[in-house]
Structure 1
Amino acid sequence: MQDASGKQLESSVGLTNLSLEDEARWSVKRRDFLRMLGYGASAAALGPLMAGCGGANGQTTVEGLRAKLVQDEAFWTDVQNMFVLRTDKTYMNIGTAGSMPEVVLSVFQEENFAKAADSLNGYGTHADLRALVAPGFGVDSDELAFSANTSSGMCHAILGIDWQAGDVVVTTNHEHGGGDTPLAIAVDRFGIEVSRISMPVGNNQSAATYVELFDERIRALKAQGKRVRAMMWSSPTYKTGTMLPIADLMEVVKTHELISIVDGAHLPGMMAYDYGALGVDFMSGAGHKWQCGPGSTGILIIRNKIRSSNPLPLPNWYPVHTSYYNTTPRTTNGTATYDVAASVTTCGSVHTPMFKALVRACELWDTIGRKKIETYDLTLSSYLKEKIVELWGVDALYSPKDDPKLLSALTSFNPFRNANDIMDQAKSSEFVSRMLADYSPGFVIRNAGFDVIGAPSQHYGVRVSTHLWQDANDVDRLVAAMWEVSNAMA
């Protein structure tokens, strides 16, 4: 297999097209996985991947999702072998931090040695590196910046806008501090106002729910004489994993002629989005989470030309942390007048090995196929959600499962038999701790507190991240363990 630059991937990556008949080459995990299903070497008889997940040959939704995961299980086992994760843990907290594959670690090490050996600096806009990554995100290199992380990118985006006193930003009450903090600074520094929409939770919601919530709030504010200037939202929210539908919300943005700011911390490496086609003004994402690059790396998309996806004028925006400043007016057509992303990427001498390793991770994702990764991640997540529903019931979910526009690879739910226990932060944290301590391998998951409409206090939902180094067998073990801990804590 070749990477995006045409180079042959290292043999240690192991991304070969193994047939299911190659049982002698299977790992113990792979053999046990198929043996548990009762397929063995006859798994090849599964045939083409089914289009749906339920109803075919009497399959339940859970069985259909499992069949999808098993169908390409050999390929994903090879992908799992790219990583150096410890075997005494099942790491399901990618939403907090990912893991660099071996080939990315190798680039990071080699570049660090090269930098030290020749005392290299990191000055420049690194346009060559950005040009390698930008196509995978559907934008040009002048629209893709390297930032320090999502929070850094959100500070660049929000604090660089030419806010005026009285401008209103409509957002939600489930935002991360990475977006809320620069908003709070803009309130105190520029006199803007923030209007928060209370987020629904659970399965009883759809993409239309969010279109209505944002549109109705904006219209109500305008009716009060308010000057609504921007919309800011997380896709997905880190609290519940709900994927606020970017394309649908962009229609609201364009209707009301607003600036769009997306906290996309979890998008790079999870979702195969074309940001040029979406037309967002700003999308700030992490390089170290689902994209599995080094820490202190992020990707910030800045709209820098007019496309049919968003014909609105580019917002006035100024760099806030840079050693590159171009005073040329921003374009009013489809051709950029200058490289706006350069102003975010360069600030003195940066540590280039980090970004070269991030580029290698992005190239690897492009080679595997970003859409293939997205499909696998979402299938794993849907399988987990359906398994939770089988045991705890659909009302235990904080993450929606039925509207595909709202799906992400994050799953948040209430594991307690007494539903009110989810408002006990200490008990929720104990559940998370026991999932790691009581099992071998232990499960690394987390919880997050958030407001629930009508609840007397915050809920501390348990959150699970499923990514490309996991499989259906991992999900089965996780759900069985969570059910045991739930029983023990009842």
Structure 2
Amino acid sequence: LGPLAACGGDSGGGGSGVAHAATKTGAMRTQLAQDTGFWNQVEAMFTLDPTKVFMNIGTAGSMPKEVLDYFDNESRQLARDSGNGYGNFLAQRQQIAPGFGVDPDELVMSYNTSAGMCVSILGIPWQRGDVVVTTNHEHGGGLTPLQIAIDRYGVEASYVKLPIGNNQSAGDYANLFEARIQQLRVQGKRVRAMMWSAPTYKTGTMLPIAELMEVVKRHGLISIVDGAHLPGMMAYNYAELGMDFMSGAGHKWQCGPGSTGILIVRNKVRTSNPTPLPPFFPVLSSGYPPTQPPGVKWAERATGSTATYDIAAVLQSTGSMNAPMFRSLAKACEVWDRIGRQKIETYDLALSSYLKEKIAERWGVDRLYSPKDDPKLLSALTSFNPFANAADVTNSQKSSQFVARLLSDYAPGFVIRNVNCPMDVAGSGVPDHWIVRISTHLWHDAADIDRLVDAMWDLSRKMG
């Protein structure tokens, strides 16, 4: 975050702590205001309803005007020509891949995060007794194909209980996974894979991919990342990170059309991850030959820096697809590359950090379910307990009312969402907490956050 990162430390509390917090948020606001003209131009690229402040990008983004126009023109051209959508969209994959730090044979334009997770998990030839270590904060998009693997192949899942709040560090996650793997192996279990969300959709905690990949490599595991919120938010180089599979959304922070996603499939061995490529078979494809290339079986994947075959081309070929939709996703990626992915990441996280500090200043840092002080754990999602009576966080109905009234009772209204946050593993009997989640993106500014915090504070007092 550059200068903003220098403003570290806790806020909240009384006396000098409050004064320090106010000074800190003031400095952060000044930093955010330095490039206002540029971000005003970016905001003007969208057609968002001015009577609302859209802060639920974690559920759905908004296509820029030029992408909307492009989508419309492509759709009309397809209709005029009675065209089809066959092919593997190589030109679009070549265009998009550099922005994500991978080669075209490693990038697939999928239908959404859930589709990519299904392709990833169900394409692995599991054996009965294989164990997947995952977390208690996963999304159904990953849990569903994992459950299919459990029911169909006899895979077992072991769930790590994730910490919440600000009192945590990136190293904690590596230790949690390492300890669980060691525990399972002492029991004679065959740990085969790690699956985690980065960030989690519940708290917005960015599970540290680099640190967790060290655990993966140390144990020779398959790595599966639910990165629903990564494309368009974070400027990650996926080849350097080295995960086997990363499935993300194209319609959230990347602001492409609905029903689009970005699926990264490691297709060669690099120094970033010298672990052999896992055996993998397409489960959704109309371009699957028995061997690829002739004489090479699918399980015989690359052992070096040169791919044996273009796995992305096979996964991308799924009959006649919606060509305008996928071409428009490529157009949205082009817009992001033009703005600058690193610039977007820096701005998104700066807004998020400002929001987290404002929440800590008003409610106290203990109300945050998202970490704020370890930069490796930051994302542009912020989750917290807004209620005057902290115990109301277990009241799902009140949480839903808070979200609804934030939109209906204020002008402009604020679009956020609530989410259930498990406080333990399933079956423990510990009730979920129903927290609110806010997304800060490139069409917001510090003034939007100030108004949001004031509205949430006011509403929390009105609701008692």
Opposite residue 440 of structure 2, the aligned amino acid is T
> Residue 486 of structure 1 aligns with which residue?
460
SS state of the match for residue 7, structure 2? coil
Per-residue deviation, residues 345-402 of structure 1 (Å, max 9, x unmatched): 1111001100111111101111111000000000000000000000000000000000
> Residue 440 of structure 1 aligns with which residue?
411
Query: Structure 2 residue aligned with 1:470, among 437, 444, 451?
Result: 444
> Residue 206 of structure 1 aligns with which residue?
169
> Residue 110 of structure 1 aligns with which residue?
73
Opposite residue 219 of structure 2, the aligned amino acid is H
Query: Whole-Å Cα distance in 2 between the matches of residues 342 and 400 of structure 1?
Result: 39
Per-residue deviation, residues 205-237 of structure 1 (Å, max 9, x unmatched): 110110000000001001111000000000000
> Residue 7 of structure 2 aligns with which residue?
53
> Residue 130 of structure 2 aligns with which residue?
167
Per-residue deviation, residues 111-159 of structure 1 (Å, max 9, x unmatched): 0011000011110111111000000000000000011000000000000
Query: Residues 287-436 of structure 1 correspond to what in structure 2 (within 5 A)?
Result: 287-326=250-289, 327-328=291-292, 329-436=300-407
Per-residue deviation, residues 392-448 of structure 1 (Å, max 9, x unmatched): 000000000000000000000000121110100000000000100001110000000
Query: Structure 1 residue aligned with 2:211, among 238, 241, 248?
Result: 248
Opposite residue 452 of structure 2, the aligned amino acid is L
Q: Which moved more, 1:289-298 or 1:332-341?
A: 332-341
Query: Whole-Å Cα distance in 2 between the matches of residues 132 and 275 of structure 1?
Result: 16
> Residue 296 of structure 2 aligns with which residue?
none
SS state of the match for residue 383, structure 2? strand
SS state of the match for residue 98, structure 1? coil
> Residue 21 of structure 1 aligns with which residue?
none
Query: Whole-Å Cα distance in 1 between the matches of residues 309 and 220 of structure 2?
Result: 24
Per-residue deviation, residues 306-333 of structure 1 (Å, max 9, x unmatched): 0000001100000001101142331111
CA root-mean-square deviation:
1.4
Cα shift at 1:455: 8.4
Runs of 5+ consecutive residues of structure 1 not aligned to the other structure: 1-47
SS state of the match for residue 426, structure 1? helix
Q: Identity of counterpart residues, as a percentage? A: 65
Cα shift at 1:61: 2.0
Cα shift at 1:49: 6.5
CA contact under 8 A between 2:403 and 2:418: conserved in structure 1?
A: yes
Are 1:459 and 2:433 counterparts?
yes
Opposite residue 377 of structure 1, the aligned amino acid is D
Query: Whole-Å Cα distance in 1 between the matches of residues 276 and 430 of structure 2?
Result: 43
SS state of the match for residue 341, structure 1? helix
Per-residue deviation, residues 141-181 of structure 1 (Å, max 9, x unmatched): 00000110000000000000010000000000100000000
Query: Residues 181-260 of structure 1 correspond to what in structure 2 (within 5 A)?
Result: 181-260=144-223
Opposite residue 382 of structure 1, the aligned amino acid is S
CA contact under 8 A between 2:4 and 2:350: conserved in structure 1?
A: no
SS state of the match for residue 303, structure 2? coil
Query: Whole-Å Cα distance in 2 between the matches of residues 320 and 425 of structure 1?
Result: 38
Query: Whole-Å Cα distance in 1 between the matches of residues 105 and 316 of structure 2?
Result: 11
Query: Whole-Å Cα distance in 2 between the matches of residues 152 and 145 of structure 1?
Result: 11
Query: Residues 49-198 of structure 1 correspond to what in structure 2 (within 5 A)?
Result: 52-53=6-7, 60-198=23-161
Query: Whole-Å Cα distance in 2 between the matches of residues 50 and 95 of structure 1?
Result: 23
Q: Against the structure 1 CA distance between its residues 376 and 301, is the aligned structure 2 distance closer, same or farther, given a 3 Å change threshold?
A: same
Cα shift at 1:107: 0.8
Opposite residue 487 of structure 1, the aligned amino acid is R
SS state of the match for residue 373, structure 1? helix
Opposite residue 414 of structure 2, the aligned amino acid is F
CA contact under 8 A between 2:286 and 2:317: conserved in structure 1?
A: yes
Greater relative contact order structure (CA < 8 Å, 6+ sep): 2
Query: Whole-Å Cα distance in 2 between the matches of residues 179 and 279 of structure 1?
Result: 19
TM-score normalised to structure 2 length: 0.93
Query: Whole-Å Cα distance in 2 between the matches of residues 387 and 330 of structure 1?
Result: 50
Query: Whole-Å Cα distance in 1 between the matches of residues 241 and 156 of structure 2?
Result: 26
CA contact under 8 A between 1:54 and 1:62: conserved in structure 2?
A: no
> Residue 265 of structure 1 aligns with which residue?
228
Cα shift at 1:51: 7.1
Query: Whole-Å Cα distance in 2 between the matches of residues 344 and 72 of structure 1?
Result: 41
Query: Whole-Å Cα distance in 1 between the matches of residues 231 and 205 of structure 2?
Result: 16
Cα shift at 1:343: 2.1
Query: Whole-Å Cα distance in 1 between the matches of residues 46 and 206 of structure 2?
Result: 27
Cα shift at 1:68: 1.4
CA contact under 8 A between 1:235 and 1:245: conserved in structure 2?
A: yes
Runs of 5+ consecutive residues of structure 2 not aligned to the other structure: 10-19, 293-299
CA contact under 8 A between 2:8 and 2:373: conserved in structure 1?
A: no
CA contact under 8 A between 1:52 and 1:64: conserved in structure 2?
A: no
Query: Whole-Å Cα distance in 2 between the matches of residues 455 and 267 of structure 1?
Result: 32
Count, aligned residues: 441
TM-score normalised to structure 1 length: 0.88
CA contact under 8 A between 1:53 and 1:60: conserved in structure 2?
A: no
Query: Whole-Å Cα distance in 1 between the matches of residues 24 and 376 of structure 2?
Result: 18
SS state of the match for residue 382, structure 1? helix
Q: Which moved more, 1:454-463 or 1:374-383?
A: 454-463
SS state of the match for residue 168, structure 1? strand
Per-residue deviation, residues 25-81 of structure 1 (Å, max 9, x unmatched): xxxxxxxxxxxxxxxxxxxxxxx96773369xx982211211111011111011000
Query: Whole-Å Cα distance in 1 between the matches of residues 430 and 269 of structure 2?
Result: 46
Query: Whole-Å Cα distance in 1 between the matches of residues 395 and 191 of structure 2?
Result: 37
Query: Whole-Å Cα distance in 2 between the matches of residues 92 and 50 of structure 1?
Result: 22
Query: Whole-Å Cα distance in 2 between the matches of residues 397 and 343 of structure 1?
Result: 43
